[in-house]
Amino acid sequence: MDNNKPLIIKNLFDTQFLLANCQWQPLTEGVSIAKIYEVEKRGVRAAFLHYSPGASVPNHQHLGFEHILILDGWQKDEETIYNVGTLVIHPPGTQHHLVAPEGCIALGIWEKPVSFTAD
């Protein structure tokens, strides 16, 4: 990312475009991540997350703010179902386990890395 220019992401809700044009890497079983940017010294990052049907992310605690925008499909944690168009902001100290029963694509923006915890 060039710090002298804005980062512009077009076709944000065209998930077929995102699936075909992002550089996806495995995150956990059934979940892939495509980094948008990362400032390693500070832990700040943004990425797209692609959940295959039934995939989950293990229990984790947020060390900073997490912003998740659901672009396609839906996911749920222990308390809430997050549908397309939902923006959820988790403050520092919160924790949860996520699952996407039918699959999902989300945009995630993290102030700090998450810490994976035992269930």
The pTM (predicted TM-score) of the whole model is 0.91
Q: Between residues 83 and 78, which one has the greater pLDDT?
A: 83
All structural domains of the chain: 28-116 (2.60.120.10)
In sign, the C-alpha dihedral spanning 72, 74, 77, 79 is positive
**CA-angle at 97, arms to 102 and 41, nearest 5°:** 110
| pLDDT tens profile 17-65 | 999 999 999 999 999 999 999 998 888 999 999 999 999 999 999 999 9
